[in-house]
């Protein structure tokens, strides 16, 4: 591998890791607080991308400035993700909090399949593609490599801003401390007067919005087709399982690790591109079943 391919693999890996982290963060946040593995999370990713693509196509036809689209598309996706997340938590999730984990898994998987059919009903099966923001931001020269500013700065920048903002929110704000209290012990948090139902609703809405935000950012560089949520949710679960369920900092490191490994496999052994993330996850789980960053009996947000 020459020097240019080496740096290109690093840039590709970091930009893809940013998307993986945003989606995985929603999964690990929901599990950390609600102790539920949400299989429907890929649906929020797909719906966020479709919503952003629809608005992006409309904005291009109406000749809206790409700068406004840059601000508007993520906000629309977040709003749509929050709306669907709020409805799902209110109508479905709060009815299964006390149920068996296997039943919770099956019900959230059924919700994912419902979201898949809903996408086909609304957007059909034709691919959607919008790249006005990528074209508007242009390209940069990095170590002799021409690379888009969108993948170089926007994707990693948004992921880091979300990471530090969430850490600050959980540690410094009153609601954030209540979220952490519920994550550590729900019954004690209830005895302390914390409204656990409200915290669970806010957490699920935040997790859903993060998944939709990931979709809105990914649609600028990916042709959006039916079933795209399944691919991303499987990779995101690999990140979450590698890091350990409920580990925010660990999810960031695991996303970078899997993103880089996948990018290097594309250039060195392309036939192993799909295999590499799951190979990493399997090796980690064989030696540390709780994940790289989890401790045996403690759960963190």
Question: Is residue 300 scored above 70 in pLDDT?
Answer: no
> What's the average model confidence in pLDDT over 245-264?
88
Assess contact for 236 and 275: CB atoms under 8 A.
no
> What's the average model confidence in pLDDT over 173-180?
90
Biggest CA-to-CA distance, the chain = 61
Distance CA 127, CA 120 (A): 11
DSSP string, the chain: --HHHHHHHHHHHHHHHHHHHHHHHHHHHHHHHH----TTHHHHHHHHHHHHHHHHHHHHHTT--HHHHHHHHHHHHHHHHHHHHHHHHHHTGGGSTTS-HHHHHHHHHHHHHHHHHHHHHHH-SS-B---HHHHHH-EEEETTEEEEHIIIIIHHHHHHHHHHHHHHHHHHSHHHHHHHHHHH-HHHHHHTT--HHHHHHHHHHHHHHHHHHHHHHHTTTS-B-TTHHHHHHHHHHHHHHHH-TT-HHHHHHHHHHHHHHHHHHHHH-GGGTTHHHHHHHHHHHHH-TT-SS--SS----
- Tell me whether residue 11 is in a domain: yes
How far out from the chain centre does Cα 220 lie? 15
Question: Is residue 108 scored above 80 in pLDDT?
Answer: yes
Question: Is residue 248 scored above 80 in pLDDT?
Answer: yes
Number of domains in the chain: 1
pLDDT of residue 293: 78
Question: Is residue 301 scored above 80 in pLDDT?
Answer: no
Distance CA 209, CA 158 (A): 14
Distance CA 17, CA 156 (A): 8
Structural domain range at position 115 = 3-287
Q: Above pLDDT 90, what percent of the chain?
A: 42
Higher local confidence (pLDDT), 80 or 129:
80
pLDDT of residue 187: 84
- Tell me whether residue 293 is in a domain: no
Question: Is residue 299 scored above 80 in pLDDT?
Answer: no
- Tell me whether residue 153 is in a domain: yes
- Tell me whether residue 54 is in a domain: yes
> What's the average model confidence in pLDDT over 78-84?
95
Q: Enter the tokens of residue 122.
A: 């609304």
| Crossing angle of helices 196-218 and 66-91, rounded to 10° | 140
Handedness of CA 157, 158, 163, 168 (dihedral sign): positive
| Total Cβ atoms within 10 A of residue 259 | 24
pLDDT of residue 296: 56
Distance CA 191, CA 188 (A): 5
Distance CA 127, CA 226 (A): 8
- Tell me whether residue 144 is in a domain: yes
- Tell me whether residue 218 is in a domain: yes
For residue 62, give every residue at least 6 positions away whose Cβ sits within 8 Å of its Cβ, in sequence order, or none: none
Distance CA 125, CA 44 (A): 17
pLDDT (tens digit, 9 = 90+) per residue, 28-76?
999 888 888 888 998 999 999 999 999 999 988 888 888 888 889 999 9
Q: What is the mean pLDDT of the chain?
A: 88
CATH number at residue 129: 1.10.3470
- Tell me whether residue 295 is in a domain: no
- Tell me whether residue 60 is in a domain: yes
pLDDT of residue 81: 94
> What's the average model confidence in pLDDT over 151-168?
93
Going by pLDDT thresholds of 50, 70 and 90, the confidence category of residue 297 is low
């Amino acid at each position: 591998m020459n020097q240019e391919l080496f740096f290109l693999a690093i840039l590709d890996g970091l930009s893809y890791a940013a998307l993986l982290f945003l989606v995985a963060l929603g999964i690990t946040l929901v599990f950390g607080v609600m102790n539920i593995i949400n299989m429907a999370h890929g649906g929020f990713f797909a719906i966020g991308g479709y919503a952003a693509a629809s608005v992006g196509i409309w904005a291009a036809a109406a000749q809206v400035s790409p700068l406004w689209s840059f601000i508007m598309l993520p906000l629309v996706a977040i709003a749509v993700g929050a709306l669907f997340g709020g409805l799902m938590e209110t109508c479905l999730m709060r009815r299964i909090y006390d149920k068996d984990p296997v039943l919770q898994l099956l019900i959230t998987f059924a919700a994912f399949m419902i979201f898949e059919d809903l996408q086909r009903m609304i957007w059909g099966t034709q691919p959607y593609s919008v790249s006005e923001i990528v074209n508007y931001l242009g390209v940069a020269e990095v170590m002799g490599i021409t690379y888009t500013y969108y993948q170089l700065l926007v994707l990693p920048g948004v992921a880091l801003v979300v990471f530090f903002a969430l850490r600050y929110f959980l540690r410094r704000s009153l609601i954030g401390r209540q979220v952490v209290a519920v994550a550590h012990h729900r019954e004690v948090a209830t005895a302390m007067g914390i409204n656990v139902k409200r915290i669970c609703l806010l957490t699920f809405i935040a997790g859903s919005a993060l998944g939709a935000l990931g979709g809105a950012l990914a649609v600028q560089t990916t042709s959006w087709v039916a079933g795209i949520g399944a691919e991303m949710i499987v990779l995101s679960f690999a990140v979450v399982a590698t890091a350990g369920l409920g580990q925010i900092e660990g999810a960031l490191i695991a996303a970078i690790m899997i993103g880089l490994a996948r990018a290097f496999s594309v250039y060195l052994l392309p036939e192993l591109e799909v295999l590499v993330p799951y190979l990493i996850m399997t090796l980690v789980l064989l030696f540390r079943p709780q994940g790289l960053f989890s401790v045996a009996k403690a759960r963190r947000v």
